[in-house]
Amino acid sequence: LTGALGLAACGGRTETATAQPNPPRPLRETARCPIGTCVGTDHIGDPAWVALATRHFSQLTPEFEMKMEYVLQPDGSFRFDGGDRIVAFARANGQRLYGTTLIWYEQDPAAFHPLDGSGKRFADAYRSYILAIAGRYRGQVVGWDTVNEPVAEDGNGLRQCIWSRNLGQEDYIVRAFEHAAEADPNALLFLNEYNLEHLPRKQATFLKLVERLLSRGVPIGGLGTQSHLDISLKSGVLTQTIRRLGEFGLPIHVSELDISLKPHGFNLPVGDPLQRQADLVTELAEAFMALPQRQRFAFTAWGIRDRDSWLLRRPGGTGDRPLLFDEAGEPKAAFHALQRAVSA
Ligand code: G3I
């Protein structure tokens, strides 16, 4: 795999930033933990987004442009232009940068297809990819989602993917962490998962996987719980999830928080959905802040304004309001709930 810079079209919404009367104090100043959000190069061209991002967030996660699907071209070359621009933006604004994701079951890149089943050649290309990207951003990212979403959705074992098929059910995970540690020894290497709250069986399988990997000496530096939630979630589940994850003593990353107002469960909340959303933020943030300081890696929302959310780009997502700021960039009850919980 050789590195080569692709040229990306520079798009971006342009809006004039409007000063908000009596804006809340900067969250990144009042919070007693790093506060993150996701970023794309198109956001960087939007002054209103930049104003909110630089005022309230101390950490950024590239939503797409450090993932294999963006970086690795079909011919095996690499495209780093988006990631490089985001690195420069974070550095210019004194923000930490967190990378996602080195290895993910969802990725099935064309460049690896000719190597599928080739044994050592596949393993060498796997290592080369991780060394290339984690090496390029060595010292520029505070950590990586080294392996994303390893557990089967029903909690019955681990996911099957091109990586597990070629390198072994669990060994692809072990190798990813070893290669990432080789590329960037100072980066915190996370195992990141979602639906740990909604699916107890999946949570249990994830916890057992972490235990096994740690017993094998795998250099796991932290655990990420994505926290893609909805207002049907029962009270208490978030507290239990954070407490269980915290029992390993590792740094915990609430890595991709959004709370959909479109309930997926049958526990339809009564009252104002936005207040229920705020109450869930309070529960999650208070559970996170109850962790020892050394375990509070970061609390990251997966977007700033409701319209920035990936959820609105999904079928049936129109009208959802999953994030901390509304369409106009005004703070919602969820923002104030977060600021109260992390600043106390
Ligand atoms: O930027 C290109 C654009 O140039 C092109 O015209 C367009 C059409 O192909 O694609 C655009 O890229 C899209 C990118 O988001 C930026 O918007 C990709 O197709 C699309 O696949 C990508 O989706 C991202 C998805 O992960 C897959 O990488 C979402 O933004 C992102 O929110 C989502 O985030 C994931 C986490 O990584 C893992 N947890 C779940 C979460 C939600 O799925």
Return the best residue to mutate from 64, 67, 105 for the ligand 1 pocket (most ligand atoms within 8 A of CB): 64
Q: Ligand 1 within 6 A of 64 CB? A: yes
- What are the pLDDT digits (tens) for 23-40? 899 999 999 999 999 999
Q: Residue 23: its pLDDT value, please? A: 81
Q: Ligand 1 within 6 A of 190 CB? A: no
Which value, in Å, is the radius of gyration of the alpha carbons in the chain?
20
Which atom from ligand 1 is nearest to the alpha carbon of 303? 32
Is the model's pLDDT at 7 over the cut of 90?
A: no
Which residue has a Cα nearest atom 6 of ligand 1?
9
Helix, strand, or coil here: 237? helix
Q: Residue 342: its pLDDT value, please? A: 98
Is the model's pLDDT at 21 over the cut of 70?
A: no
Q: Are 44 and 50 in contact (CB under 8 A)?
A: yes
Q: Ligand 1 within 6 A of 100 CB? A: yes
Which atom from ligand 1 is nearest to the alpha carbon of 256? 39
Which atom from ligand 1 is nearest to the alpha carbon of 42? 1
The confidence band for 8, taking pLDDT boundaries of 50, 70 and 90, is very low
Q: Residue 265: its pLDDT value, please? A: 66
Return the best residue to mutate from 60, 63, 313 for the ligand 1 pocket (most ligand atoms within 8 A of CB): 63
Is the model's pLDDT at 20 over the cut of 80?
A: no
310 C-alpha to ligand 1 centroid (Å)? 8
DSSP state for residue 165 in the 8-state scheme: H
What's the one-letter identity of residue 50?
Answer: V
Q: Ligand 1 within 6 A of 67 CB? A: yes
Q: What's the whole-number average pLDDT of the chain? A: 94
E strand or H helix that includes residue 260: strand 252-260
Which residue has a Cα nearest atom 23 of ligand 1?
64
pTM of the entire predicted model: 0.94
Cross-strand partners of 258 = 228
Which residue has a Cα nearest atom 35 of ligand 1?
63
Tokens 């993917």 locate to: 161
**What residues are annotated to the active site?**
149, 256
Which residue has a Cα nearest atom 42 of ligand 1?
310
Which residue has a Cα nearest atom 17 of ligand 1?
64
49 C-alpha to ligand 1 centroid (Å)? 18
Q: Residue 12: its pLDDT value, please? A: 43
Is the model's pLDDT at 13 over the cut of 50?
A: no
- What are the pLDDT digits (tens) for 54-100? 999 999 999 999 999 999 999 999 999 999 999 999 999 999 999 99
Which atom from ligand 1 is nearest to the alpha carbon of 148? 38
Q: Are 111 and 155 in contact (CB under 8 A)?
A: no
**pLDDT average, residue stretch 2-30:** 60
Q: Ligand 1 within 6 A of 317 CB? A: no
**pLDDT average, residue stretch 274-298:** 98
- What are the pLDDT digits (tens) for 144-193? 999 999 999 999 999 999 999 999 999 999 999 999 999 999 999 999 99
Which residue has a Cα nearest atom 5 of ligand 1?
9
- Between CA 10 and CA 81 the distance in angstroms is 10
Q: Ligand 1 within 6 A of 63 CB? A: yes
Q: Ligand 1 within 6 A of 282 CB? A: no
Q: Residue 268: its pLDDT value, please? A: 74
Is the model's pLDDT at 53 over the cut of 80?
A: yes
Nearest to 198 by CA among 145, 165, 240, 156: 240
- Cα–Cα distances (Å) from 22 to 19, 278, 344, in that order, read 9, 21, 21
* Strand 96-104, strand 35-39: pairing: unpaired
Q: Ligand 1 within 6 A of 310 CB? A: yes
Which residue has a Cα nearest atom 20 of ligand 1?
64
- Between CA 41 and CA 244 the distance in angstroms is 36
**pLDDT average, residue stretch 265-283:** 89
Q: Residue 269: its pLDDT value, please? A: 75
Is the model's pLDDT at 324 over the cut of 70?
A: yes
Q: Ligand 1 within 6 A of 226 CB? A: yes
All residues at 6 or more sequence positions from 133 whose CB lies less than 8 Å from its CB, including other chains: 66, 68, 71, 78, 80, 83, 102, 183
